[in-house]
Amino acid sequence: MAKQCRNSRQLVHSQHTKSQMATEIAIGAWCSRVGKSSWDMNVSIEDPINGKQLAKMVSTLVSVDETLTKSKPLPNVDVIKSLTTPSEFPSDFMSDFPDSMSRPLDVPHREGIVRLVDTDKLRHINNCKYVFLACEELFLQRANIIGRVDEDSVHDFFQSVDGVYVQYTGQLKAGEVYKSFVWRTKDLPYIQVDFEAVNNDPMCSVIFRIAQGQAHL
């Protein structure tokens, strides 16, 4: 983990129907790349006792002009570059995730409206919120199948996911209608949730990788 973040810690409480527990984790975040208008953030979550890495993430952030709602050059790029720490993650650590996969033609869809609470300051859905919406779609599908929200199966699903990949291709803004598709690969351990505009333009795909030997939701 990057030196300047080694000592940052957070106490996390996880509660579900089977038990209650509290776990202390160490979280480090650092900038690993700086471009003209974007930069990469690396996050590492570790066990503070034995140093074992529990999760890792790389996210690309973009500097945005809030008035024009488009990217703008970063200020003081040279200063920012001097504070970067090269990524400790292998460059191919996400290579086992496929790009957005071809969805079968017979996958049904659900229509929804982007709520204001789903959007950020720029009134559009960002990558993090797409993951939350993808989880909502998964659990809605499960509830439709069994007639209720099964909390134990929700917990078991999160326990089975060992990676999430977000492929962001377009903006959905507050008040806009979107279509969502939930489908599972037949021979590969992935569940994919696709979001499209009403004109069928792709907006985002969220891919969940299921750990080997774990059942799908």
- Grouped pLDDT means (10 residues each) for the chain, 217 residues: 42 43 77 88 85 83 81 84 75 62 86 90 84 88 66 76 86 92 83 93 90 61
Q: Report pLDDT for 134.
A: 92
Whole-model pTM: value is 0.71
Please give the order of strands across the beta sheet that includes 53-62: 9-15, 20-34, 38-46, 53-62
Q: Report pLDDT for 16.
A: 39
How far is residue 201 CA from its own chain's centroid? 20
Who's near 166: CB < 8 A, 6+ residues apart? 127, 130, 131, 204, 205, 206, 207
Q: Report pLDDT for 99.
A: 63
What is the 3-class SS of 15-81, one letter each residue?
Answer: ECCCCEEEEEEEEEEEEEEECCCEEEEEEEEECCCCCCEEEEEEEEEECEECCCCEECCCCCHHHHH
